[in-house]
Structure 1
Amino acid sequence: MNSANDFDLESLVHLEQTFYDDGYKDGFEHGRIHGLIEGRALGREKGFEMWEELGFYEGFAVLWKMICAGRVGDSNERIINHINQLLQLISQFPRVNPSSTSSSADVDIPKLFRQIRSRYKILCSTLGVKPSLRCADGTPSEEDFSQEDHSNSSTRQPVWKVDEQSRVVTGQSLEF
């Protein structure tokens, strides 16, 4: 009869909550593991996209810096100033994961990225070039259609004429 007195009736009242708490704990641990895996994969993908865009901006700026290097004029000085400011902003972008190092943790990456994009657009405006990251042989996105003038889209001409005999087929096309 001693065993009947040891039986806790109160544990039966909270039996459902006990199972719920155990299931929640197991699910939380399982979700944490899969969340880390998915987060790392997404981080790699988005990080690559960001660096691809930054590489485009840097290459654009370096190219125009070389083009403008030998020229003299007030507008040329303005262009060089915008180029140097863009390159300076790009050099501030962290090269390592800021969450893993304490020295770079205070960098506001979205703010810096917005500043770089803005500086790129200012440089394009100064140069008289349409800012674009669209790949020439890719399909245009919805954003490209909303910004583009469709009145002469079927009669798009290349920037430089190329003789058909000297043309090399690479499988890629460039549009400006």
Structure 2
Amino acid sequence: MESVQSNFLEDIFDSSLNLEETHMKEGFKEGYNEGLVAGREDARQLGLKLGFETGELLGFYRGCVCIWNSTIRVCISPQLQKHIREFEEWIDKYPLLDPEDESVDKKKDDLRVKFNVICASLGVVKKKLEYKGYPKVSSELDF
């Protein structure tokens, strides 16, 4: 009878001694699950932002190529025509649908370099043609 009573008391105290550890495990599990949800949403927002910026930049480049192609027939050297055709091919081959392609940053840099070469060859003042992205919304309205 005495051993049953001592086992019963040990069981009661075991649960209170392990209370802190139990709460830590539950808190960790809860925090981990909430972190997964928050992390997915943050990643989604970042992906949308970067995807939009990339789309804007490629659209700007595509517009420049369209203008340059319309002037090719008039007054552009064969070497510059080659640069413009390569630039257009690079835009077409940009991996828009492969978000895990690790070479996208290098390809974007290559596009910028080729764009600068073409602009310099055309004598275009880069400041006037530079892509500035979507206008930022200010917190104060200017009237």
Task: Give TM-score scaled by structure 2 length.
Answer: 0.75
Q: What is residue 69 of structure 2 aligned with on the other side?
A: 65
Q: Distance in 2 between matches of 1:51 and 1:106?
A: 16
Question: Which of these residues, 17, 20, 24, is aligned with residue 24 of structure 2?
Answer: 20
Q: What is residue 43 of structure 2 aligned with on the other side?
A: 39
SS in 1 for 2:131: coil
Task: Return the structure number with greater relative CO, CA threshold 8 A, min gap 6.
Answer: 2
In structure 1, give the amino acid aligned to 2:49.
Answer: E
| Offset, 1:10 | 5.6
Hey, which of these two has a bigger chunk of helix by percent?
2
1:115 matches 2:84: no
Q: Distance in 1 between matches of 2:131 and 2:101?
A: 29
| Offset, 1:13 | 4.5
Q: What is residue 86 of structure 2 aligned with on the other side?
A: 85
Q: What is residue 149 of structure 1 aligned with on the other side?
A: none
Cα pair distance change 1:70/1:107, threshold 3 Å:
farther
Where in structure 2 are there 5+ consecutive unaligned residues? 137-143
Q: Compare CA radii of gyration and give the structure with the larger one.
A: 2
Identity %: 27
C-alpha RMSD of the superposition: 2.4
Q: Distance in 2 between matches of 1:79 and 1:48?
A: 30
| Offset, 1:95 | 3.2
Q: 1:18-71 deviations in whole A, cap 9, x for unaligned? A: 311211111111111122122212211221111101110111022112112233
In structure 2, give the amino acid aligned to 1:125.
Answer: A
Q: What is residue 5 of structure 1 aligned with on the other side?
A: 7
Where in structure 1 are there 5+ consecutive unaligned residues? 100-104, 140-176
